[in-house]
A and B are shown apart, each in its own frame.
Chain A
């Protein structure tokens, strides 16, 4: 039977480089998702005539 493979590398160094992105890029992605979902909710609120939800979610989209 083949023994289970174990990770070996040059002095335990990672083979690929980690992304140089710091916290600001994931935060930007998260805020972008938040804004897009909020704008969708705002559009829905506009169509179904819910002024309170429309105002709140438009502010959220900003």
Chain B
């Protein structure tokens, strides 16, 4: 059941007349090889400063999470063989063509690798956009959510509002651009305007990151899931592709090979501003209680 009014075209909903087709990413994690070319291309193109050279002890992931200076993040999961299944997990077909059903398992190492390139979801109902008091976060004609760094005043409202923990304020280094300003993926708005592909999708060597019209990508993703299911990968699922979910469907959606939690994604994301009416109700009750209490304090005359 839709919890929000259906807005298939958020750009037109925002007031863009004759907006182009909504653009987005389809990140197919089943063919991600974890090369991090997307992270590098993103940093290069957008001129994002370095945000810590640390060894995190999280497999090959030393990026950690999305943030103000990390707009693409490749997750690495070393998954041990599950105890519930007798034969372990579904092996991935290396070649996914239906007529060539060569199933190649990772062998007897006892683990499988899951790699997925995470990014801003460019929600249909974007909470960061809803809470921004300055209008720095805007909906573009491509239906994406972009923050204007010269308008943002760094209030930080958007940071806890994002149900995916994507946007953050830049903490440093001190000599970098826009320190203290909220930053996130722009879906390469500057490249889109010129009809170019975003840097990460351009750099991806396996086309794990696919860019295009969202309608077309959703169809392509549905075909891909069907093909994987037919090949025996029953855990394959789409994430963020359903326009009826709590965020009205993501502009950047994913094909995952396990539950979203494994990849650090919320299983049922909801636009956080959905709770605003309830919060205003509580706040007005508190204000009424204060008024009533103050009046009651003077209700009785001095005897």
Binding site for B on A (CB under 8 A): 8-11, 13-21, 36-37, 40-41, 43-45, 47-48
Chain A interface mostly helix, strand, loop or mixed? loop
Distance to closest chain A CB from B249 (angstroms): 19
| Contact digits for B269-303, partner A, Cβ 8 Å, 1 yes 0 no | 00000000000000000000011001101100100
In the complex, whether B91 has a CB less than 8 A from a CB of chain A is no
| A43 to B295 alpha-carbon distance, docked (Å) | 10
Given contacts A16-B164, A17-B165, A17-B167, 8 further A-B contacts (CB under 8 A): A11-B56, A16-B165, A17-B166, A20-B159, A41-B297, A44-B294, A44-B297, A45-B298
Subset of 17 A-B contacts with CB under 8 Å: A10-B262, A11-B56, A11-B58, A16-B165, A16-B266, A17-B67, A17-B159, A18-B159, A19-B156, A19-B159, A20-B156, A21-B156, A40-B290, A40-B294, A44-B295, A44-B298, A45-B298
B263 (CB) vs chain A CBs: closest residue? A10
| A15 to B269 alpha-carbon distance, docked (Å) | 10
A40 (CB) vs chain B CBs: closest residue? B294
Distance to closest chain B CB from A44 (angstroms): 4
Distance to closest chain B CB from A51 (angstroms): 13
A48 (CB) vs chain B CBs: closest residue? B298
